[in-house]
Structure 1
Amino acid sequence: MESLRLQTSSIVWWLCIASIVVVLVIYGNSDAPIGPSDSESDSPVSFLIPIIQLRSKVITTSATPSVSDDHKIVISSSNHPTPRLLPNQTPPSEVPKPKRKWRRDQSELEEGLARARSSIRRAAAAAASGDPNRSSAPTGHDVVPHGAVYRNPRAFHQSYLEMERKFKVYVYSEGDLPITHDGPCKDIYSIEGRFIHEMETGAEAGRFRTKNPKEAHVYFMPFSVTWMVKYLYKPLSYNLTPLREYVSDYVRLVSEKYPFWNRTSGADHFMLACHDWAPNASAGNPFLYNTSIRVLCNANTSEGFRPQKDVSLPEIYLYGGNVSSKLISPPPPNSPRPYLAFFAGGLHGPIRPILLDHWKGRDKSLRVFEYLPKTLDYDSMMLESKFCLCPSGHEVASPRIVEAIYSECVPVIISEHYALPFSDVLRWEAFSINVEVSKIERLKEILEAVPEEKYRWLKENLKVVRKHFELNHPAKRFDVFHMIMHSVWLRRINLRVA
């Protein structure tokens, strides 16, 4: 009898072990990162977000995060240095251990994201085995993305649907007007204020925003760097310390009042700003700079912007708060465009002086101006040109890119170290031309060498991609607000909080 009991116990023991192994295999497969494995090449692949992967777990310990040379987000229990600190800064205090209830809630959130990753990966695999432009089944009013402008339309569509079903954002209520909960809604930095207002009061944003921070996937800090510059910066002082101090104080406020920042050192938090000085302002907290998701127009990879965790924000210039009436409905495709290329703008930054030195007033078909003559209209010139030159100014981003898309004038991007917006899902080579700074003197030769068939293809693709760069009020599916949200969603879905 004793022998029988021992045999029974042994069998039960081995069955338990086998069950655990099976569960681990299944969960491990569903929780795998979207994108190539670490053993594969780092070169981009053709589906979803090739540059961001679930490379490591973010765990709640008293350790401080570090960002390695290849920009992986790492938080571990020991043997990792603190992140880069600015002068007079100290690391935050130890992170308290999470309560059991929070761990259970967090586990449910992560399991939901694991299922989303799995469904997106299946959609990508299905596209790879068949027609890459075939997408998931539409859901009534659904508009299924298709065409050459997408890296993988099917994977993007599935990811977008998963975002609509699951993604929850908590917006911090802390902070006073005008620097928080407000921002510019017209002029060059308009997208900053438009996003904040849409996130806080927009009807469409209601599907994403949650009043319960415990069910949120990410946390939004609604401060405006543009308004910081307006209200805190002393003109001509070039002293950005007040901006950094404000950001530092804001992070300290929410981290002391809530447990959410401390449990991941800000890895599931995001800020959004379009002002050129936004990266500098974000340096007010080293974890915000190194670990959090920064949604920035100034997406310069040589100045700390990391596409693996940060989001490139398109710069949209709204004169008087609206898109020019001439750009709302571009002329028919067969309308003449007599000029090869067009640019008008000041001598800002290192690239534009080179462009104007070679081409200003030198060619009747390649129209380059520093100041546009009063007899010419800027919008009309774009509508009459085949290509619109978009050189960087003081910073890498340029509102001319979006203006060119609106006018169906093929953007010619002349920049260095610029991470283009929505590159996770969009193939910029399908609707724009890239010209290296070193080849500016050959600009006319390069543009004239573009075959007519390719030019028409690029121009046709601008019509497809336009909706992703439109600012609507209220927001509409697949517009720029939703594309920004999708970019944040991708970075969160590939970050596992354990």
Structure 2
Amino acid sequence: MNMSRTHGSVLLTAVIIVVLILFSTSNSKPPVIPINLQLQIKLNFNPHIHVIARSSTTMTSFPVLRKRNPTFNVRTGSRLPELELARARAAIQRAATVRNKSQLLPNADIYHNPAEFYQSYIEMEKRFKVYVYEEGEWPLVHDGPCKDIYTIEGRFIEEMEQGRRGRYFRTKDAQKAHVYFMPFSVTWMVKYLYKPDSYDVSPLQQFVSDYVRIISTKHPFWNTTHAADHFMLSCHDWGPHASKGNPSLYNSSIRVLCNANSSEGFNPQKDVSLPEINLRDGNIPPKLASPPPPSSPRPHLAFFAGGVHGPIRPILLQHWKGRDPDLQVYDYLPKALDYYSFMLASKYCLCPSGYEVASPRIVEAFYSECVPVIISQHYVLPFSDVLRWEAFSIRVKVSEVVQLKQILTSVPEEKYLRLKENLRAVRRHFVLNQPAERFDVFHMILHSVWLRRLNLKLE
């Protein structure tokens, strides 16, 4: 046993308990424990995982997995995947210093480090292997919605299991896999298991619990790594709730979620923020299918239309609905008016969070080249580990909504044109192609999972 680590864990826990006791005996509010510390507390009680500090321009500090008990080494073929990952890490670290790959990307300004991202993507295509569990019955497993607001959930499962690019990354040999995908659909769980108006998510959690019990009993991989190299994907608002059906899934696995709310348990160190893409008939709306000409007139400063729900939208409508002709703000758009025409005619598209943090308007803004104005709290933006969102969007605090027009009109024209140009470059990362194409949203999701696996070391 590593006594120094044990003593460190006990000391850390003791310090936290003392702090909480001191605050509980005072009139002060309890302290907010940072995400990094919360993760470290959880992992300190797991004898097979500990956190180390890493620095990288594209990857922040991630948990590193270590198997201290040799009886856990049941993956006889695990040395090859780990060797491949080690080579990939070395190649990515060399990328920025050996040669400049920024010219290989359409617009380097949208990336934190274009050279490292490009090399990481190439290494992913060269090496990354995903094992898809075959257990489970249709439609709750191996299927999902391929239309409407949860389109991406079903389309990812379909591409991973049946698509040409999915087969490229998929391996039937579980010993060669770097990650393990659980292809269940939370949206279909809600449709088939949830009792309407009951607000009882326990049937979803029970299904997840049963599913994990089956795969962890039949296969050794879940228990080998405490699920840290497993991932699920859900665009339904209740995806995080469903993942609570198993503690290891919630605390250790990679959860790919549209509802990426850091105040509700989403951990950007291990979880992946999934863009919400609303394709009503399964395809991009014809008006948004092709980028509009750059010279297209945009007479409106900003536009929003949507339901008044959640804590943010009422504030937006209270201050701006019908108040200023430059800001076209509606709750529900009259039938005589066309939603996408407004987006195409506006310089900025307002994207306030509703009940949950994610909004399909962000991706629709990309398609219409209407600069998204993101008004949210605790929202971890999709692919923000590689994308510089400040290069193609504007973030406005909820407290600044009253100054919204002043904020937007103060943006210099040169900066606005640069934001708009960057929108055209980033669009391809948010397109759901069928079949999938390089650098599209399917591959960006996989790359986000790849990054998190890249920072897990199995010994």
TM-score range, shorter chain: 0.7 to 0.9
Distance 1:360 1:260 in 2: 54
8 Å CA contact 1:343–1:367 kept in 2: the answer is yes
What is the number of residues matched between the two proteins? 408
Q: Which residue of 1 aligns with 2:352?
A: 391
Q: Which residue of 2 aligns with 1:48?
A: 58
- Relative to its length, the structure with more helix (as a share) is 2
State the Cα distance separating 1:134 from its structure 2 match: 4.4
Q: Which residue of 2 aligns with 1:38?
A: 53
- CA-to-aligned-CA distance 1:334-386 (integer Å, 9 cap, x gap): 11100000000011110000000100111101000001012210000000000
State the Cα distance separating 1:108 from its structure 2 match: 2.1
Q: Which amino acid aligns with 2:410?
A: A
- CA-to-aligned-CA distance 1:177-196 (integer Å, 9 cap, x gap): 11000000000000000000
Alignment partner of 1:359 is 2:334:
no
Q: Which residue of 2 aligns with 1:133?
A: 102
Q: Which residue of 1 aligns with 2:10?
A: none
Q: Which residue of 2 aligns with 1:57?
A: 65
2:73 to 98, 101, 121: 98
Alignment partner of 1:187 is 2:148:
yes
What runs of 5+ residues in structure 2 fail to find an aligned partner? 1-51
Alignment of 1:312-461 (within 5 A): 312-461=273-422
Q: Which residue of 2 aligns with 1:256?
A: 217
Q: Which residue of 2 aligns with 1:235?
A: 196
Counterpart of 1:341 in 2: which secondary structure? strand
Distance 1:134 1:259 in 2: 44
Distance 2:426 2:122 in 1: 18
- CA-to-aligned-CA distance 1:396-423 (integer Å, 9 cap, x gap): 0000000000000000000000000001
Counterpart of 2:349 in 1: which secondary structure? strand
Alignment partner of 1:483 is 2:441:
no
Distance 1:359 1:225 in 2: 36
Counterpart of 1:205 in 2: which secondary structure? helix
What runs of 5+ residues in structure 1 fail to find an aligned partner? 1-36, 63-95, 136-143
Distance 1:330 1:311 in 2: 27
Alignment partner of 1:153 is 2:168:
no
8 Å CA contact 2:275–2:382 kept in 1: the answer is yes
Counterpart of 2:325 in 1: which secondary structure? coil
Distance 1:61 1:429 in 2: 45
Query: Which structure has the greater CA radius of gyration?
Result: 1
Q: Which amino acid aligns with 1:312?
A: S
Distance 1:348 1:249 in 2: 34
Q: Which amino acid aligns with 1:116?
A: A
Distance 2:358 2:198 in 1: 24
Distance 1:418 1:297 in 2: 10
8 Å CA contact 2:232–2:254 kept in 1: the answer is yes
Shift >2 Å, 4+ stretches: 37-40, 55-58, 96-99, 124-127, 131-135
8 Å CA contact 2:101–2:118 kept in 1: the answer is no
Distance 2:101 2:425 in 1: 17
Counterpart of 1:363 in 2: which secondary structure? coil
State the Cα distance separating 1:321 from its structure 2 match: 1.4
Counterpart of 1:496 in 2: which secondary structure? coil
8 Å CA contact 1:132–1:152 kept in 2: the answer is no
Q: Which amino acid aligns with 1:355?
A: L
Distance 1:304 1:229 in 2: 20
State the Cα distance separating 1:98 from its structure 2 match: 3.1
2:252 to 291, 295, 317: 291
Q: 1:57 to 1:331 in 2, by over 3 A?
A: closer
8 Å CA contact 1:52–1:491 kept in 2: the answer is no
Distance 2:172 2:278 in 1: 32
Q: Which residue of 2 aligns with 1:26?
A: none
- CA-to-aligned-CA distance 1:291-342 (integer Å, 9 cap, x gap): 0000000000011101110000000000121111000123211111000000
Counterpart of 2:242 in 1: which secondary structure? helix
TM-score (norm 1): 0.80
Q: Which amino acid aligns with 2:205?
A: R
Distance 1:414 1:266 in 2: 34
Distance 2:126 2:102 in 1: 23
Q: Which amino acid aligns with 1:377?
A: D
Counterpart of 2:102 in 1: which secondary structure? coil
8 Å CA contact 1:266–1:292 kept in 2: the answer is yes
Q: 1:329 to 1:145 in 2, by over 3 A?
A: closer
- CA-to-aligned-CA distance 1:66-116 (integer Å, 9 cap, x gap): xxxxxxxxxxxxxxxxxxxxxxxxxxxxxx6334xx34x212211110110
Q: Which amino acid aligns with 1:271?
A: M
Q: Which amino acid aligns with 1:393?
A: G
Q: Which residue of 2 aligns with 1:108?
A: 80
Q: Percent identity?
A: 65
8 Å CA contact 1:360–1:369 kept in 2: the answer is yes
Q: 1:52 to 1:492 in 2, by over 3 A?
A: same
Q: Which amino acid aligns with 1:59?
A: K
8 Å CA contact 2:276–2:358 kept in 1: the answer is yes
Q: Which residue of 1 aligns with 2:425?
A: 464
Q: Which residue of 1 aligns with 2:91?
A: 119
Counterpart of 1:460 in 2: which secondary structure? helix
Alignment partner of 1:202 is 2:217:
no
TM-score (norm 2): 0.86
Distance 2:428 2:416 in 1: 20
State the Cα distance separating 1:176 from its structure 2 match: 0.3
Distance 2:106 2:113 in 1: 9
Counterpart of 1:368 in 2: which secondary structure? strand
Distance 1:216 1:38 in 2: 26
